């Protein structure tokens, strides 16, 4: 099963980094966010990726075009006129990576639609290029297959940086709540989709999160896989620092046994 990753947005709320680098290449522990996401899928044997490019997409192409060189030891013989590069101890994953230009201004629904020729007529997975999780991808796929609906999204409890105010009708604060509560779920990505979901997509200006998902939900064709474990997006510099801290601690929740995966 192929995995489509949306990696074309501008990441304006992380502008400290994205003014130079596309958001999916912003690093955590020295490795791009894309690498962390792909490692999460690879743990469960899913190694075929379609990456939807947009803003500064050429940098993502260059990253993967030179990936094996970046990850290996080299001997470069400059003493000979013809030169030559000898690669030692290749450290590379068994990934197949298709890089698709989907337009700098294209919305998420348009990016998915443009990936259709590379997906084919098979079920596929989809996620955002800025969020990591310890979701069990194998269990997610099994859940999707069990309910026989066109679409599954992964729901998580939103991480909260702020306490919430419980306010009554007369605008009086009744109490403070430190967390939003177990009843609140948000869309975390990590979708599993049937080919028929392409029929819900419109032009390049259509966000996936609006008409397509809302129509699927209204028709009773969108199921949620509830994940109570770790999930974190990298939307701001605060989020990046949080992820960097978890990585530096030595056992990041989204990549357990980190040493075996580096």
pLDDT at 210 over 80: yes
Q: What is the reported pLDDT for 142? A: 98
pLDDT at 248 over 80: yes
The three-point CA angle 12-255-129 to 5° equals 25
Q: What is the reported pLDDT for 220? A: 94
pLDDT at 262 over 60: no
Least reliable range by pLDDT among 134-138, 146-150, 255-259: 255-259
Q: What is the reported pLDDT for 101? A: 98
Average pLDDT, the chain: 90
Q: What is the reported pLDDT for 163? A: 61
At the topology level of CATH, where does 2-252 sit? Spore Coat Polysaccharide Biosynthesis Protein SpsA; Chain A (3.90.550)
Gap between the Cα atoms of 116 and 200, Å rounded: 12
Gap between the Cα atoms of 190 and 192, Å rounded: 7
Give 75's contacts (C-beta < 8 A, 6+ positions apart): 85, 86, 88
Q: Where are the domains of the chain?
A: 2-252
Q: What's the average model confidence in pLDDT over 256-261?
A: 63
Residue 180 pLDDT level (bands cut at 50, 70, 90): low
* Interval 3-61: pLDDT, tens: 999 999 988 888 888 899 999 999 999 999 999 999 999 999 999 999 999 999 999 99
Gap between the Cα atoms of 4 and 179, Å rounded: 32
Higher pLDDT: 151 or 84? It is 151
Which residues are bridge partners to 166 per DSSP? 175
Gap between the Cα atoms of 92 and 72, Å rounded: 8
Q: What's the average model confidence in pLDDT over 199-211?
A: 96
pTM as predicted:
0.90
Q: What's the average model confidence in pLDDT over 218-245?
A: 95
- Sequence length of the chain is 262
* Interval 72-94: pLDDT, tens: 888 888 887 777 888 888 788 99
Q: What is the reported pLDDT for 86? A: 84
Q: What is the largest distance, in Å, between two alpha-carbon atoms of the chain?
A: 82
């Amino acid at each position: 099963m192929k995995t489509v990753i949306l990696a074309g947005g501008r990441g304006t709320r992380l502008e400290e980094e994205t003014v130079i680098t596309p958001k999916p290449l912003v690093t955590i522990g020295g490795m791009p966010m894309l690498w962390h996401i792909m490692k999460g899928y690879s743990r469960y044997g899913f190694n075929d990726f379609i990456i939807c490019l947009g803003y500064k997409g050429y940098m993502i192409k260059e990253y993967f075009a030179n990936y094996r060189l970046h990850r290996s030891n080299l001997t470069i013989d400059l003493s000979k006129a013809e030169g030559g590069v000898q690669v030692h101890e290749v450290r590379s994953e068994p990934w197949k990576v298709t890089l698709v230009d989907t337009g700098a201004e294209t919305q998420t629904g348009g990016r998915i639609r443009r990936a259709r020729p590379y997906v084919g007529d098979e079920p596929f997975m989809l996620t955002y290029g800025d969020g990591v999780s310890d979701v069990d991808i194998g269990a997610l796929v099994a859940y999707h297959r069990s309910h026989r609906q066109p679409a599954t999204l992964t729901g998580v409890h939103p991480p909260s940086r702020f306490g919430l105010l419980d306010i009554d009708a007369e605008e009086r604060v009744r109490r403070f709540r430190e967390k939003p509560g177990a009843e609140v779920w948000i869309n975390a990505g990590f979708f599993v989709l049937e080919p028929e979901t392409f029929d819900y997509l419109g032009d390049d200006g259509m966000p996936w999160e609006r008409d397509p998902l809302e129509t699927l939900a209204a028709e009773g064709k969108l199921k949620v896989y509830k994940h109570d474990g770790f999930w974190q997006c990298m939307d701001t510099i605060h989020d990046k620092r949080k992820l960097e801290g978890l990585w530096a601690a030595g056992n990041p929740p989204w990549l357990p046994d980190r040493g075996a995966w580096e």
